[in-house]
Amino acid sequence: MSGTKQDYINYRLLKSKELFEDVKLLAANKRWNSSINRLYYSSFYLVSALLYKNDIKSETHNGTKTLFNLHFIKTGLIEIRFGKLYSNLFIWRQESDYLDFVEFDKETVEPIIEQVEELNSLLINILQS
């Protein structure tokens, strides 16, 4: 990686925002499984930036989830509901990408979009403070 720690964090912030905008386009076109995928990645970029900002290194998506829960959820720095949401996003993304006959729908995804927007806003605020 070239650049500073802040360059990396800024890049991850930008990628997250772009992906969340993609979610809006996908949802408007009833692409619910793709929406779940992009929701996960919009939060993943922020969680990985948060870990990096705090000098916590992860090699895998599962490691990122585990370390986020260990260092930010279990310590009370971030509410448990957000840890559960991120863990569920991880599972849902895998299901939608890799399992046959898994189809998300509007009634399921639209509330998740709102929840992820809240999670992402919190993470952005933490990263920018």
- Mean pLDDT, rounded, for 28-45: 98
pLDDT > 90 fraction of the chain, expressed in percent and rounded? 98
Token pair listed for 57: 């290194």
Residue 1 has pLDDT above 70, yes or no: no
- Mean pLDDT, rounded, for 87-116: 97
Q: Is the dihedral of CA 49, 40, 89, 24 positive or negative?
A: positive
Q: Which CATH superfamily is domain 5-128 in?
A: Nucleotidyltransferases  domain 2 (1.20.120.330)
Give pLDDT tens digits for 54-70. 999 999 999 999 999 99
